[in-house]
Amino acid sequence: MSPKMLRTINKPNMNIFQKIVTYIFLLSCVTINAQYTDQINTNRPGQSMSAFAVGKTIAQVETGIYGIYEDHSVLNYKTKGVGLDLALRYGAILEELEFIANIQYQFDQQEDLVYTRNRNDFRQFTIGAKYLIYDPDKNYKPELNLYSWKANHKFRWRKLIPAIAVYGGANLIGKKNTYTFPEDHVSAKLMAITHNHFQKWVWVNNFIADKFSTKDLSLGLISTLTRGFNPEWSGFVEFQAYKSDFYSDGITRAGAAHLLSDTMQIDASISGSFKNTPTILYGGVGFSWRFDADYKDILLAGKGDREDEYNEEQKKKKEKKDKEREERKKKKEKKRLDTLELEGN
């Protein structure tokens, strides 16, 4: 169509034309969303595991240091110590598959009515893999209403459908470890994961069967609710429950994370137990880093979790750039006028 013909289109028809172009553009954007996100997506500082993998060829390190205090009112002992957390995550073979190593090493001093013991050993050494078996946004093409902003942004009941993943791993701590049972050995850890995204809220649930192949089976639940306050800051609250013949308790956590860059994040959290057998209190700080230089985009249909937020961020960046460009033009014009005025004098 020639420019002359375009000028003959009346205003209402031009509006429809613009909306159709916008609609086609949005649909094209929908097809490029995979599990990889523009910014690091870490499990810290909570203890739950997200359903989504880091992405094929992505390597991620999540580490931290914590302090712990325990006071058992029945056995009359107190424990004070520090520990190191390390999670190594790598996406390989499939976009939905992730291999994970979770390591925790602790140094502490336990004191009772008779003895004082200095201890140090692995509290956790687990290697496993996670696979996303269902993503409600994959192959989903939302119907865009060309005439109603409200209709496009209303709550959709399908948002209640979670992404679902499964995890299987092996606990490699041996029987001589000071933090486990004398008869303990290599055992299985199984987990089902659900993941919901409600705009700036994320709700993750882990259903855990730990030491599955031993008589010390432990069932657990971790439920984490995270809220993004702005592109850099987020906060979370979390509840964790354990149930076994040896130990049962509930732990609550709260904390915050700050995004330093697209590949780095720092965090802090504090936790406490419900029971006093023992009373548990610990807090920590951490750092996460992602290496994604080898990543190649994977084309998947469906709307990404953070697409609306991403589009809004891009809009703000464009407005900021336009404003800066306009200010530069004004300064340049003022400088030109000042130069002309000086030359005239």
Read off the pLDDT of residues 178-201 as tens digits, 9 standing for 90 and up. 888 777 778 899 999 999 988 889
Read off the pLDDT of residues 10-52 as tens digits, 9 standing for 90 and up. 433 445 444 443 443 343 333 334 555 678 889 999 999 999 9
Read off the pLDDT of residues 259-288 as tens digits, 9 standing for 90 and up. 999 899 999 999 999 888 889 999 999 999
**What secondary structure, in 3-state letters, does 42-59 show?**
CCCCCCCCCCCCCCECCE
At residue 302, does pLDDT exceed 80? Answer: no
The whole-number average pLDDT for the span 119-123 is 92
Residue of 220 and 329 predicted with greater confidence: 220
Mean pLDDT of the chain: 82
The whole-number average pLDDT for the span 151-170 is 82
pLDDT at 318: 81
pLDDT at 154: 66
CA nearest 50: which of 227, 210, 205, 256?
205
pLDDT at 31: 36
100: which 2 tokens?
């994970």
Q: What share of the chain is helix, strand, coil (3-state, %, to 5)?
A: 20, 45, 35
The residue whose two tokens read 């995890």 is: 167
Give the span between the Cα atoms of 204 and 222, in whole angstroms: 8
Residue of 268 and 144 predicted with greater confidence: 268
Across 66-75, 120-129, 169-178, least confident range: 169-178
Residue of 92 and 154 predicted with greater confidence: 92
Confidence of residue 203 (pLDDT cuts 50, 70, 90): very high
DSSP 162: P
pLDDT at 13: 43
pTM for the whole thing? 0.71
CA nearest 158: which of 148, 168, 143, 145?
143
Selection from 56-70, 145-159, 286-300 with the highest mean pLDDT: 56-70
336: which 2 tokens?
């030109």
Confidence of residue 153 (pLDDT cuts 50, 70, 90): low
Give the span between the Cα atoms of 272 and 288, in whole angstroms: 23
Give the span between the Cα atoms of 58 and 263, in whole angstroms: 11
Radius of gyration of the chain (CA): 27
